[in-house]
A and B are shown apart, each in its own frame.
Chain A
Amino acid sequence: GQQVMQIPQYQHVQEGEDFTTYCNSSTTLSNIQWYKQRPGGHPVFLIQLVKSGEVKKQKRLTFQFGEAKKNSSLHITATQTTDVGTYFCAAPSSSARQLTFGSGTQLTVLP
């Protein structure tokens, strides 16, 4: 089945540093979604990207969808302790009946 590869698995940054997580697929994606899961919490939908080359921003978060619609990134500028959590990308399977989640990037922000 379709796989969405996500790197890195873990990332430790000092507060104020930037952070990026990447997702890659071997197949063209109809859309890609990003979720955030706080420690002890549940995944929360952040954004959906649909168009080739699309860039969307949410305050300090910048989401990009690759031109070939096979990769995506989430960049956080000047991290804060509130950014701590696991960030997942997710994409519809080839049948579009389910979402395939990346393995997640666990972000730790050191004060």
Chain B
Amino acid sequence: DTAVSQTPKYLVTQMGNDKSIKCEQNLGHDTMYWYKQDSKKFLKIMFSYNNKELIINETVPNRFSPKSPDKAHLNLHINSLELGDSAVYFCASSHGGRSGQPQHFGDGTRLSIL
């Protein structure tokens, strides 16, 4: 009965590979997010989807592409992985795309690039 679940929890791969991270929420929220957290714990918003529409696309490389098949799922695909992509990626969800509502986070995916 996990509210926001993302897989995998750990991802170790080589530079240049392509990988995907999946996220699902069962809270009935209509907005989902992807964050990147670096080693200094800084949380950077990457993408947000509201009712399957992209409403935020921060200045992230176009190697990162979010895909939302429905409002309960938001996946993140990364092409041509680079060393600097090593970080923890968090999925989150909330009610409402414009109201600054509290967000519920998944457990995170720890991505390590060799």
Contacts and interface: CB of A to CB of B under 8 A. Distances in A.
B107 interface: yes
Question: Which among A33, A43, A92, A96 has the greatest number of chain B C-beta atoms within 10 A?
Answer: A43
B106 interface: yes
Contacts of A106: 41
Interface string B81-114: 0000000001010000111101111111000000
B56 interface: yes
Contact of A96 (B42, B98, B102, B108): B98
Nearest to A43: B105
A43 B90 contact: yes
Given A41-B107, A44-B105, A95 B45 contact: no
A36 to B, nearest CB: 11
B102 A48 contact: yes
Given A97-B56, A106-B41, A42 B103 contact: no
Contact of B45 (A45, A98, A104): A98
A37 interface: yes
B48 A97 contact: yes
Nearest to B100: A92
Interface in A47-72: 48
Interface in B46-82: 48, 55-56
A99 B105 CA distance: 13
Contacts of B106: 42
A44 B41 CA distance: 14
Contact of B98 (A33, A88, A97): A97
Interface of B: 33, 40-43, 45, 48, 55-56, 90, 92, 97-100, 102-108
